[in-house]
Structure 1
Amino acid sequence: MIINLTGDTVRVYGPDAPDVIADDALDTGCTVFAAEVPPAYVDLVSLGRGERTFHGGRPVQTYLVRHVVRDLPPSRPNTYLLVDAAIGLTARGRADLLIGFDSVHDAAGALVGYRHLVSPC
């Protein structure tokens, strides 16, 4: 089972999908994962200012933050959690997490889905 915690519907078209999908209004060419509620998300907790540095002669202020994942349930047998890439990378090491990979777009360039789901661990 795959539970979609991205907050958005995710479509997976498969490895042979073209880069651009002209029209798939009925979702006939893909597997659709409806969003579950509540979605998992990442909070950034400020740890204060970092060092001020320079790039190209201009000052750049850096900040230190800690990433905290919210609403991510614990692992369950035979269950994968589809999450945003930021969550997958923040919660590395969990073999039950999946993220969308290899984007598919519509004719206007908007993201409509992915070719694969991959584990970021």
Structure 2
Amino acid sequence: MIINLTGKPVRVYGPDAPDVIADDQLDGCTVFPAEVPPARMAIEVLDAGQEALHGIRTVPLYLVRHNVAGLPPRRPNTHLIVEPIVGVVSHGRADLLIPLDEVHDATGAAVGHRFLGSPC
């Protein structure tokens, strides 16, 4: 089973899909509807007092911790589609999948992906 926790539908066209999908090919894919609530990444600021000098300007530096919310525990035979940042921050979760290799429509808008991959 694959559950989509990105917050939006994910369309997978397959590895042989062209870069640009014609309007009559938009339905030729597997659609994973979004589950609610989605998994999301939040940033907790631990320290905001440092600065770095870049040329003549100072740049504020923050020490942050990434926290993932809404990610259920692992379940046997279940994969979870998540946003890439959630997958990268969730080290060691082989059950997570991220959409990879965008496919576009004739206007250049992203309409889906060729495949799902594990960020582990």
TM-score range, shorter chain: over 0.9
2:54 maps to what in 1?
55
* Counterpart for residue 21 of structure 1: 21
* Equivalent residue letter for 2:10: V
Q: Which runs of 4+ in 1 moved over 3 A?
A: none
Q: Which residue in the other structure is 2:118 paired with? A: 119
- Over the aligned positions, Cα root-mean-square deviation in angstroms equals 1.5
Whole-angstrom CA distance in 1 between matches of 2:19 and 2:119 = 22
Once the two structures are TM-superposed, the CA of residue 98 in structure 1 deviates from its matched residue by: 0.1
Match of 1:31 in 2: 30
User: How far apart are 1:3 and its partner, in Å?
Assistant: 0.2
Alpha-carbon distance in structure 2 between the residues aligned to 1:91 and 1:116? 20
CA distance in 2, matches of 1:41, 1:48: 22
Per the alignment, residue 90 of structure 2 pairs with: 91
Query: What's the % identity of the aligned pairs?
Result: 65
Structure 1 gaps of 5+ residues are: none
Q: TM-score, normalised by structure 1?
A: 0.92
Aligned to 2:43: 44
Alignment coverage as a number of residue pairs: 120
- Tell me how far 1:107 sits from its aligned partner: 1.8
My pick for the range that moved more, 102-111 or 37-46, is 102-111
